[in-house]
Amino acid sequence: MEVFGNQKNCGGSTPPQLGSWLEGDWSRPVLLVTKVFSNNQTEVKLMPILGKRSLEVLATCHPSLQMIIQEAIRVFDFTVVCGRRGEKEQEKAFREGKSKLHYPESKHNAETPTLSKAVDLAPYRDGKIQWDDREAFVFLAGVMKAIAMTKGVPLRWGGDFNRNDNLHDDKFVDYPHFELES
């Protein structure tokens, strides 16, 4: 398996390599929610919701991805880093080693502006994206896969491209990456 911090695909790397993907307002609003337990005790918690920039990126994605992601953010905080890539963006990602594919072969490429079948997510904590927190990426993938299953959406994660549920035998891994299987 590749060393995670050295990955150069789809944003699985350090922020400077992401360049333009990180421009804009990535600030994170949170909702205060009150949880009521069966013994009538209540606890006030912070529930993350997607920031403005994340929502803009998410709007370029297929409705099934949007649905799963809007559920997942209630469980675990993350940023939507990359959705649809047009030809220019895809070729730039290829040149920078963030993608192995030319336009229009990537599932990030969609003919219409709102139907990317791939999305890149990254865990967000302590006011910043946690690029080097492998456990957080894996946790997020579990949340995403579980929600996708309950919604009946076949979802492939970049940490297990061969879909055999073994997270240690993929030659190429891309932890931020999720894509619809069909």
Does 120 sit near Zn ion (CB under 5 A)?
yes
Q: How far apart are CA 16 and CA 104, in angstroms?
A: 26
**Of residues 28 and 98, the one with the C-beta less far from Zn ion:** 98
Out of 10, 61, 93, 136, the residue judged to bind Zn ion by CB under 5 A: 10
CB of 98 to Zn ion, least distance (A): 8
| Residues paired with 121 in a beta bridge | 80
Q: How far apart are CA 97 and CA 128, in angstroms?
A: 23
CB of 10 to Zn ion, least distance (A): 3
16 is written with which tokens?
């400077």
Does 28 sit near Zn ion (CB under 5 A)?
no
Other beta carbons within 10 Å of 103 = 18
Please count the CA atoms within 13 angstroms of the CA of 17 that sit on its side-chain side: 18
CB of 33 to Zn ion, least distance (A): 31
Task: State whether residue 2 is helix, strand or coil.
Answer: coil
Q: Considering only residues 163-182, where is the footprint of Zn ion by CB under 5 A?
A: 177
Does 89 sit near Zn ion (CB under 5 A)?
no
**Of residues 28 and 156, the one with the C-beta less far from Zn ion:** 156
**Site of interaction with Zn ion (CB under 5 A):** 10, 118, 120, 177
